[in-house]
Amino acid sequence: MSTTDRQLRVGMVGYAFMGAAHSQAWRTVNRVFDLPARARMSLICGRDAGKVADAADRLGWDAYTTDWRDLIARDDIDVVDVCTPGDSHAEIALAALAAGKHVLCEKPLANTVSEARAMAAAAVTAQAAGVRSMCGFNYRRVPAVAMMRQFVADGRLGVIRHVRATYLQDWIVDPQFPLVWRLQRDKAGSGALGDIGAHIIDLTQYVTGRRITGVSAVTETFVKERPLPAGSSGLAATVDGAAVDGNGADGHRPATGAVTVDDAAVFVARLDGGVLATYEASRFATGRKNALRVEINGSLGTVAFDLERLNELEFYDATRPAGEQGFSRILVTEGEHPYMSAWWPPGHLIGYEHSFTHQARDFVEAVATGVDPAPSFVDGLQVQLVLDAVTRSAELGSSWTEVEPALA
């Protein structure tokens, strides 16, 4: 068998926003990257037969099923890609690992620390049998982020003193925006904290190579009651015949339900090695659509990344002669930059979806070459421990809360 004859037959559970993003990645990955195995989009799973059939057709999957247990039971599936809301991550991933399938699971890894612990333990056990698993923190795969990490690892920043991270959105500023699953604790685990805060927690730990050791947090749910959705898809949703003032077409107010997650979370943290950090995750930052920003200050320089300018990295090099210092903007679009040589000629830009293709690339390569991909489920558990500490700290009036290491 030649290397490209080797197939990894993927079965994906879920077909909404993340399902579409992952589909795009599976469809593209072997067209762009030269890899030791070929991902095949074998089977997609969703509960609604009509909708999943449509998704299979639209997103390019060979077949569909309405039962994830059926997907896992099939011996012609090698990889299970979990793109469902957090309340089913643990059950699906644990069953998949037990069946010897490699697993890619969307972030946050789970809804609770105990679920994440069980998943991490199962992943470590499965490793011994050559079964690989990875948590989908896709922003690690933005070339400028990978480069930022390299700068820190190479000592270009000297001694790291500060981390400053924000992830800001505004899609629920309108109090009439309906109560979608992302606003329900039993489905999503937490709100802005787990959905977008998890990204900056993972990114900053990844880039600095340091662990968050303690936090002091505040969280808030600004709008506590919202109309029930008639339908939703990704971050968009509708209320039955309702106008923006919340009155239904027939003059009756639509039924409402309680928002059971945070709308925003703000916390200060310590990372090991004496680093002081601030984090902010909000869905109420009016005008900020998907604004993730990370800045790291060290004794020899600063790097800053802004997702809205994801092809760039800002770098301040304090080792340059005093009169020549200042922030420089590195355009991360050249062949020597991480992932970029496979794409377009120098200077040609990439976007959000490419981070998922890079994630699929790294996953396929790891599985095909028999190494454990990162971020592992243990890394996912480490993020979960921070989310949990933030929640507990906020509940206790911002009291300082230690974060235990996932691998104690």
Give the residues lining the site for ligand SOE (CB under 6 A): 17, 169, 195-196, 235, 290
Q: Assess contact for 12 and 81: CB atoms under 8 A.
A: yes
Measured from the CB atom, the residue of 270 and 354 that comes closer to ligand SOE is 354
We find the least distance from the C-beta atom of residue 2 to ligand SOE, in angstroms, to be 36
- Separation between Cα atoms, residue 93 and residue 242, nearest integer Å: 38
Dihedral (CA of 286, 289, 294, 295) sign: negative
Q: Is 339 left (phi over 0), alpha (psi -120 to 50) or beta?
A: left
How far apart CA 144 and CA 307 sit, in angstroms, is 9
Which is nearer to ligand SOE, 30 or 184 (by Cβ)? 184
Residue pair 251/138 in contact (Cβ under 8 Å)? The answer is: no
Report, in Å, the least distance between residue 234 CB and ligand SOE.
7
Nearest in space to 263 (alpha carbons), one of 395, 392, 175: 175
Q: Can you state the angle between helices 143-153 and 198-208, rounded to 10 degrees?
A: 40
| 106 vs 362, beta carbon nearer ligand SOE | 106
CB of 290 to ligand SOE, least distance (A): 6
Please, what is the minimum distance in Å from the beta carbon of residue 147 to ligand SOE?
Answer: 20
Nearer to ligand SOE, 282 or 333 (CB): 282
Nearer to ligand SOE, 20 or 126 (CB): 20
Vertex 116 angle, CA 206 and 192, to 5°: 65
From the CB of 229, what's the least distance to ligand SOE, in Å? 15
Closer by beta carbon to ligand SOE, 78 or else 115: 115
Bond before 375 cis per omega within 30 degrees: yes
Q: How far is the CB of 188 from ligand SOE (least distance, A)?
A: 9
- In the complex, the smallest distance separating the C-beta of residue 254 from ligand SOE, rounded to whole angstroms, is 23
Q: Least separation, in Å, of the C-beta of 86 and ligand SOE?
A: 10
For residues 40 and 7, is the Cβ–Cβ distance under 8 A?
Answer: yes
Q: What would the two tokens of residue 52 be?
A: 């999943």
Length of the chain: 408
Q: Give the helix, strand, coil percentages of the chain, each rounded to 5.
A: 35, 25, 40
Q: C-alpha angle 17/22/26, rounded to 5°?
A: 150
Instruction: Return the amino acid letter for 122.
Output: A
CA dihedral 8, 14, 18, 19 (to 10 degrees): 50
What residues form DSSP beta bridges with 319? none
Which CB sits closer to ligand SOE, 111 or 216?
111
Q: Which is nearer to ligand SOE, 81 or 195 (CB)?
A: 195
Compute how many other C-beta atoms are within 10 angstroms of the C-beta atom of residue 247.
15
Q: How many other C-beta atoms can be found within 10 angstroms of the C-beta atom of residue 46?
A: 25
| Residue with smallest beta-carbon separation from ligand SOE | 195
DSSP 9-56: EEEEE--SHHHHHHHHHHHHHHHHS--SSEEEEEEEE-S-HHHHHHHH
Q: Which lies closer to ligand SOE via its Cβ, residue 103 or residue 172?
A: 172
- Specify the residue, 9 or 288, whose C-beta has the smaller distance to ligand SOE: 288
To ligand SOE, the closest distance from the beta carbon of 160 in angstroms equals: 25
Smallest distance, ligand SOE to C-beta of residue 145, A: 13
